[in-house]
Amino acid sequence: MALSKELIARLRKDFCLDWHGDHGASHWARVKQNGLLLAQETNADFEVVELFAFVHDSCRVNEWEDPDHGPRAAEYVERLRFEKLFTLGDGQFRQLQRACSGHTHETTNADITIATCWDADRLDLPRVGITPDPRYMATDVGAKMAREK
Give contact residues for Fe ion (rule: CB under 5 A).
57, 121
Q: What is the number of other CB atoms lying within 10 angstroms of the CB of residue 102? A: 18
Cβ density class 70-88: b for 16+ within 10 Å, e for less? bbbbbebbeebbeeebbeb
Question: Smallest gap, in angstroms, from Cβ of residue 41 to Fe ion?
Answer: 21
Q: Is the dihedral of CA 72, 117, 102, 132 positive or negative?
A: negative
Question: Smallest gap, in angstroms, from Cβ of residue 49 to Fe ion?
Answer: 13
Question: Smallest gap, in angstroms, from Cβ of residue 82 to Fe ion?
Answer: 23
Residue number with CB closer to Fe ion (9 or 61): 61
Residue number with CB closer to Fe ion (85 or 99): 99
d(CA 139, CA 23): 23
Residue number with CB closer to Fe ion (23 or 85): 23
